[in-house]
Amino acid sequence: MKQQILDGIIRQLRQQLNGYQQRIDTLETSAAVDETDTTDLDENSQQDEAATMSSLLQLPQQALEDSISTIETFKTIACSQFAPGALIETDAHFLLIGVSLPTLELNGKKVIGITTKAPVYGALEGKKKGDELHLGKKDYLILSVS
pLDDT at position 26, please?
Answer: 79
Q: pLDDT tens digit string along 58-112? A: 788 888 899 999 999 999 999 999 899 999 999 999 999 999 998 899 999 999 9
pTM of the model: 0.79
Q: Does the pLDDT of residue 42 top 70, yes or no? A: no
Q: pLDDT tens digit string along 126-141? A: 899 999 988 889 999 9
Q: Does the pLDDT of residue 55 top 70, yes or no? A: no
Query: Which of the four pLDDT bands, split at 50, 70 and 90, describes residue 51?
Result: low
Q: Report whether 41 contacts 103 (CB < 8 A).
A: no
CA-nearest of 136, 140, 143 to 120 is 136
Domain boundaries, the chain: 2-74, 87-145
Q: Report whether 124 contacts 69 (CB < 8 A).
A: no
Q: Compute how many other C-beta atoms are within 10 angstroms of the C-beta atom of residue 130.
A: 10
Distances (CA, A) of 143 to 1, 26, 127, 137: 13, 44, 11, 19
